[in-house]
Amino acid sequence: MGHGIAQVFAMAGFEVWMRDIDENILKNAMEKIKWSLEKLHSKGRLSETPREIISRIHATLDMNEACRNADFIIEAVPEILDLKKKIFSEADSIAPSHAILASNTSSLPIQELANVTKRPDKVIGMHFFNPPVILKLVEVIKSSYTSDETVQIVIDLAKRLGKEPVLVKKDSPGFIVNRILGAIIHEALWMLEDKKFGVKEIDAACRFKLEMPMGIFELIDYIGIDVVYHMMKAMIDRGAPFTLTKSFEELFKSNNLGVKTGKGYYSYPAPGKYVKPSLSSLMGQNVNSLQIIAPAINEAVHLVEEDIADLVDIDKAIRLGLNFPHGIFEIADNFGLDNVLNMLNELYNKRKMDIYKPRKYLASLVENNNLGRKTGKGFYEYDVDVRKLDTLKIIREKPLAWIILNRPQKLNALSIEMLDEIKRTFAELDKDKDIRVIIITGAGKSFCAGADVKSFENFSGVDAFKYSLKIQDAFGEIERVGKPVIAAINGYALGGGLELAMACDLIIASSSAIIGQPEINLGIIPGAGATQKLARIIGSNKAKELIYTGDMISAEEGARYGLINQIALAEELEYIARKIGLKIAEKPPLSLMIAKYVINYGKDVAEKVGKIIEALGFGLVRSTRDAEEGIKAFLEKKKPKFKGE
């Protein structure tokens, strides 16, 4: 990493003396710097020529020449404590008394490096991430000797380099990023040991459920199994609560070290040739993603409890260092802290390892009903408004709104009153500019067991006809609302319940959900759209089979027919629905509305007409400010901010 760090400093205008022990290494380093600068230059990312920047880097074999006039020295030698101590002691004896001595270590104690110098107050950790030229994160690690002045100088320095520093207030094994990554690795290794799921399944859950840029085994292969092994060992030696599995030890000893040897958890076409493993979301369907992440959340809480790092810095480190779209505490709040706590208890009971013992701060949040986004407070605070109607609970959790069917004792069967409240609520939420996506789900063990059979007990034929129109009208409101609506099926979705879900734009279902059109058993037929809608989605033969037999089928079968978009485990349903909702909520609202209308209404007309409707919609959307913003942001390589204008 040394040459990358030298390049970063030179790019920020500093004169750099780059010292190594071998001429060839230095030559190689200069070549790499040159290659990188030219690449940046060709993309227009430099304000100077590569030659001007390189002229500030002086390669040397002489420690004396490198250190004698230095204001700041950073070492990036291999992670061997004695070697680092030797370098620190040497640099300390040469450098001017005001010079700061920093280590790029990812795992070794700064305190021990400080001990070999006569300036422990000026010794600090400055941990870059590979490649330093690209990755923004820098962990700044304070030992108990480091002065506040030194910390401030290094934080300012990191900012001057264009980096995003986070402060590690106390030396702790793995600092922030490696500690949390270590906990994820630990859990993945133990899940593999359980033999219930394989490498690809766990990785698919990482990528598709947790939105990690790489699966965890893919990442281990990429970093190198030996590097990960030593990193984990170093943290364990310093007291981190990780335990390595036998199979991981064996893999390490087998010399199949990942991408670099052509084989690790995956096989690669040749040593050093990385090809992204091909995974699909279906592979990870049955893997509980909360299990992968809960121990890491517990470790992150430990860092806060022990005053090692601040919550906001930890989340920043996870986003920038691991390239996660959300910080670890944001993920926890999205899952629900009660779910996180339950998972930890379950794991603790099973494996009796310290890493799973729920931290006090987490337990106290749950005890006080601060459960995350859903209650308006968890690790963070959220603007949440809860309103109870007679049959519904409505939670406005901007930019999402949750409609919870709330007659659990009747399995959320649709009463007349509930239909009225559904229609009214959708109309209201449609007008609420702060709400961009609506999620509908059920309280208790059922999403909705259909129309309330009691309410049409004494119906005449005409009454039933009118009732059918009423239910269709209420569901029509869901199709008409200019915002995406997600059904999160948590249990039974039967009869009118499944028709309600089909009126939504996307259906996410718990793996234990049961769906069907059992009306035939009551001597009636579906009356809220299933004869038309179900047939269109799954084909008329399959629809007839379900309607004629009244059979109830699993969510998995529903997904196979294309009726359900995604399946989640019961504990993940809320998280996955929220994750998809938040993702869609970032998109331009007017485009979403027009896309929904074109799809919903275009399908009822001849294809030629549908395409004209699409073209008209396209024209309309192109005239919005959000389209200007989207196109401009793309060209400027920025993230667009859509306002719905």
Hey, which residues are catalytic here?
A: 499, 519
Residues 588, 634: Cα–Cα separation, whole Å: 14
Query: Which is closer to ligand CO8, CB of 451 or CB of 509?
Result: 451
CB-based contact 416:380 (threshold 8 Å): no
CB-based contact 101:91 (threshold 8 Å): yes
Q: 131 preceded by cis ω (within 30°)?
A: yes
What Rg do the C-alpha atoms of the chain give, in angstroms? 29
Residues 500, 413: Cα–Cα separation, whole Å: 11
Query: Which is closer to ligand CO8, CB of 372 or CB of 516?
Result: 516
Chain centre to alpha carbon of residue 543: 37
Residues 351, 333: Cα–Cα separation, whole Å: 25
Alpha helix stretches (DSSP H) within 450-539? 461-480, 496-503, 530-538
Ramachandran bin of 637, using left for φ above 0, alpha for ψ from -120 to 50, beta for the remaining angles: left
Query: Which is closer to ligand CO8, CB of 298 or CB of 468?
Result: 468
Residues 614, 624: Cα–Cα separation, whole Å: 16
Residues 538, 558: Cα–Cα separation, whole Å: 9
Query: Which is closer to ligand CO8, CB of 244 or CB of 520?
Result: 520
For residue 533, give the nearest of 568, 561, 573 by alpha carbon. 561
CB-based contact 97:119 (threshold 8 Å): yes
Query: Which is closer to ligand CO8, CB of 188 or CB of 514?
Result: 514
Tokens 């005053």 appear where? 307
CB-based contact 403:438 (threshold 8 Å): yes
Residue least distant from ligand CO8 (Cβ)? 495
Residues 121, 136: Cα–Cα separation, whole Å: 26
CA angle 233, 238, 242 (to 5 degrees): 50
Query: Which is closer to ligand CO8, CB of 495 or CB of 589?
Result: 495
* Residues found near ligand CO8 in the complex (CB under 6 A): 410-411, 413, 449-454, 456, 464, 467-468, 471, 492, 494-496, 518-519, 522, 526-528
CB atoms within 10 A of CB 637: 7
Residues 298, 280: Cα–Cα separation, whole Å: 28
